[in-house]
Structure formats: structure tokens, C-alpha cells
Structure 1
Amino acid sequence: MQIVFMNRLSKHSGGSAGDFAQLWIGEEEGVWRVGWRDCGEAPESAGSLWYEGSSWNEMLGVYRHELAAKMGEGYRPLIDGVFHEEAAVTGRNQEQMKLQYYSELHGNETVYEELCAWRRKRSSLERKAPYLLASNRLLRLLSAYLPRSVEELLQIPGVGEAKAEQYGPEILAVTSAVERSHTFPLNWVSEEIDDGFFTSWLYKQREMKYKKQLDRLRQRRELLQGIADGCGLEELKARSHLSRREILEAAEELEKDGYMVDPLIQRELEDMPSGEQEAVWNAYRELGDVFLKPVLHKVYGEEAARAAGLDMRYERLRLIRIRYRRENAGAAAVVEHL
């Protein structure tokens, strides 16, 4: 096996040197391996293989995720490695990350729960997903800093003029009702944070980010294999533990990225009459392919939204839209070439 990358890391405890470890990437006949070896008292029993396989993207995802976890534990490379994606955290971005870090340590749980209840009620009234109104991170920030005015509210990362105008009074009714011991502006936060703990927290955030990316990569691979095996939505649901809607959304993304998902489309549409499929296709031509509801109403009538089998109809609309967009993209490419 050829070692293509190796780095040594150290973990310090207090003021004295602590543990050392080696991180390596090797390749042999198209197979990638990523490994970690502790260089302690018994290094022969401290090695671990993080990844072994043929996918460069998965190998890199595993590398980044596992390395971020180790750096969250306090390990630091003796020489900066070219494979580790270092996102610069400086200036305003660093200030915002420190505000987030502090809020996770010092949030008011009672206020947070009240804000969650407000979000649920408001999202139900507006028929929007809760995260579109406010993320959990924003609610944590609000529960920690407890703004009392619109001016203070606008200093919270994630709150802009539009959000403050639309939801400010309701949010402030919750946050201003609680006593606080700090002041605005929030430039005092940096002085309250231990830089070492903050750095480890940053790597923990990176670890979670890479974990999501890796899970998504593996999920896509499983879906592609399932589609190639001729699986339908229900079988893919059992394999991937995703909902049918999530699988369709993933299929749309796969199609955009150049993967063929026709076996899935063919299987799911085999019981749909050709005349019905043609009607949907013509509706996309007339109304466009951005929104599904106008196409649903065009093909099935205004009462379709209250009829039985609505989920199945939307699934079929999505599947036909994949084909429609592919054909339109191909036609546009031919015109551009001419």
C-alpha cells in the first residue's frame, strides 16, 4: 500500500505534552484506506482503520468527520494537512459563533420552551414549517440574551429587519418578561469565553456538519443501489428509513446531478394510465414545473385537494416532473448548441 498522506498530532493536557498520534491515508489498486494510530505506551494495540473502500468522496467524508472529532478532543496537527478543510473563523463570523457558543451554555430553558411554544402556534397559523420562522439556534440565542427592545433584538444573529418587524413584538413579550444580569451590546461575551473550550466546540460543530454530509453521501449511494435493483418507493423506504417524500426529493436531486432514476419512475408509474400521464405532461407545458398544486388542479380538478389518494397523485406528479425537466433541459442544450 502506498501512503499518500500522513500527519502527526499531539494532545496537550495543561502545560505539558500529552498523547501523540498518527493519521494516514493510503491507496492500493483503487482501494482507499484511512487510519489512526495512537503513539502511546502500547501503540501496537491502539491502531484503528477509519475507512476502507473505493469511493474518494466517502473516504474524504470519513476523514473529515473523524478528524474533526479528534480535534474536538484536543488533538492538533503538528503540520497543517492539505486534506483537512479549515474554515476560517474570523471577524464577524467569529463573533457570531461565540454568541452561539455562549447561548448553548447559558440559555434560559424556561424561556426557550416558551419560544418553542410560540413558534409552534405561529407556524400552525401561517401553515409554515417551524424552522422557517426561527431555528432552534435562534431560539437558544434569544433565551440567553433576552432582548427587551427592537434595537437589541436586531443584534441577535439571525434576526433581520423583516423578522423583527413581523415577529418582534411577540418575541419580545416573552424575552423582556425575564430579569437579566447582562447588558447590550454583546461585546462582553468574548471575555466570558475560554478560548480552548471554544475551539473544541468549533470542531464539534464541524464534526456534526461532516457527519451530516457523510450520512447524506451514504444515503444517496444506498438509494442509487436500490433504484438499480428495481426497488419501488416502499422498498426504498424500508432500506433507507426515509419517508416516501424524502426519497422523491432525493431522486430529484440525483437527477439534477446526472444520475438516472428511470427504473424508479417506470416502476411507480406502471399502473398510471398513459392518458393521465399525458395530461400531466401537458399541464407542465402550460403552467410550468415550479409548483405542483396548479398542475394537480388542472389535471384532476379543484376538488382534488380534498379527494382520497392525494399523496399518491403528488408522488406521480413529482416523478413525471423529473422526466419533464430532463427533456426540457436536453432540448435547451440542443438549441444552445445550434
Structure 2
Amino acid sequence: MSLTLDSHRLLGRSGLRVSPLALGTATFGTESGWGADKDEARKLFDTYVERGGNFLDTANTYTDGSSERQLGEFTRDHRESLVLATKYTTLRRPGDPNSAGSHRKSMFASVEASLRRLNTDYLDLLHLHVWDFATPVEEILRGMDDLVRQGKVLYVAISNTPAWQISRMQAIADLRGWSPLVGLQIEYNLVNRAAERDLIPMAREMGLGVTPYSPLAGGLLTGKYRRADLTATTAAPGESTRKSFNAGLGMVTERNLAIADVVKEIATELGRTPAQVGLAWTLRQPGVTAPIIGARTVEQLEGNLGALEVEFTAAQSARLDEASVIELGYPHDLLASDHIRRVTRGDLKIEARG
């Protein structure tokens, strides 16, 4: 069944209602080399909100702070009806070791700076952006809980962190009565399904709503890449720096292009764009609350929003799954094997929890 931006979903085990596609604002500003200028960013914001969207994602260092500053201006007349999510942990001042990381000093300073740039008294959702392998989890959780108790943050979430750390943190928060994590932001798309091994099952079990970033694999699923891009590491005249960036990262592989080919085939069958098909697949995966879409132009945004209307046949879903399938690895492949089923269940009929 088709969706609309005002077909709200609950974020994790909270009562927070969010749109099924979040608007990512890492493109608000041109400092990264491929973003939108302020006038175009305003059009992107207005288009999303006018279509019924309420979920906006940014971070403290996106486009050197321009993303938050522009959102602070754009949201001035809509603040109460919008869900503003930002992040902390990335380096804010080169050379200052305490201007980055998950620790309390970094967290509080970053939140205060984000509140000023966003021109708001509170953040709806604060993510830990990148795990730093240094800060004790109790320090992180207690700091987040203090911010919630102060009213500066309403909900807390996490991104780019090992599944075992997140599940440990959620258990500690529950036992100590601290604010639980309600969201998990991860890279997840047809090209990169690694989150299916542990992160997404953990999120479903522990009550975190999944908000995937890069649902189009950095643009690889838009149909713009060709076999000639397999060896390209620099941009040809007229090409975007983002395309050469992805090529330089090694994302343009034979496997990934083969997945993109299947996406294009199904897009042709449905009369849709490859981007809409790639987004729709992520949007409809179990455990996913709201993929984060980014755009540089209103035309791109309108095209991405068309993913809400895409419906696959069972055969088409199976083709996408088969083209992009990954090995789950140990112990998941072992536990799913016929041998383990025979030695643990035999012929017993046992219905698993939904």
C-alpha cells in the first residue's frame, strides 16, 4: 500500500510520531562541494514540509554548521510541529581534543552550540554520531539523561556503533531508570545490507527505530553509474565531485553495479525511477522507521518522495533480495541451518515471536 509523508510512524519504543521519510540536511550549504545554496535549501525545506513531512535530520558539523543555522531560520514558524534531530561527537575545532568524542564535556558543549544555531530551546532527538571507543557508556547515558531532565533534549538515539555496545547501553539505561535510546541511525541499502546481521535485529528487540542513511548508496542506485566508472577515481569534465568521491572509496564494484542493474530493470517494469525503487526497498524493510533522504534540488526531492507510492510484487521483492543477498556469518548462518533445526526442534512445530 502506498504511503504519504503524513502517514506517521512511531520512533522505536517512544510515542514520537515521525514521517516515513526524513529529510536529511547535510546538503544545506555548499561547504562539502556538492550541496545546495541557501535559496535552494529553503525550497527543499518548504517542499518537504508542505507535502506533510515533519522529520528533519542534521548534525553539529554538517557543512561547517550551515545546515543547523539554515534550519534554525527555516523552522522559525514551524518549530512545534517539526521533529528536529541532530548529532554530536565529530570534531568541532581542529586541535582541541575535547571538541570531539562521546564524553560529557563534548556532549554538553555541542548541544549548547546546536541549540544556538538551530534557534531553539530544545532538541527533539539527539544522536551520538560516531562511537569513540574511549568514553564509558555510563558517562554517555547519564549525560544524555541529564539533558533530557533539563528539557534541552526530548529523546536520545545513537549511530555508527557496534550492536553489542548499544544493547548493553539499553540494558543499563533500563536498569538505572535513565532515558532509553529510541533511535538507531545506520547505513542501510541494497548495496550495504550488513546491518541485517546484528544491528537491525538488535534494534527490533531493544526498541530502537531504525533511520537508515545513504538509502541510495551514495547515489549508486540512481542509475547514473556505468561499467566505465569501475576504474574512475577522478571526476570527468561536468561530473559531480560526489560521483568521483564514491569511485575513490571503492563503492563502484561489479557486484554493486549488478545490483543497480536489477533496480533499473524493476524501475522500468513499474514506470518508476531507479532511485524510487531503491528507496522503496529500504522504506519497506522490517524494523525501518524512516530512511533519510537527501537532495540538492527540488526535482531530486520530488523524485525521492515518489518512493512512498512504489509497491512491489512478491516476485520483484524477491529479485531485489536475491541480487543483494549477503552471508549473515557465524553464528547466524549456523543457527538458521537445517542441521540445527533438526537437532533442536526435530519435527516440532514452534511459532516464533513476531
Bucket of the pairwise TM-score, normalised by the shorter protein = under 0.3
> Normalising by structure 2, what TM-score?
0.23
Structure with the larger helix share: 1
Larger Rg: 1
> Normalising by structure 1, what TM-score?
0.24
Higher relative contact order (CA 8 A, sep 6+): 2
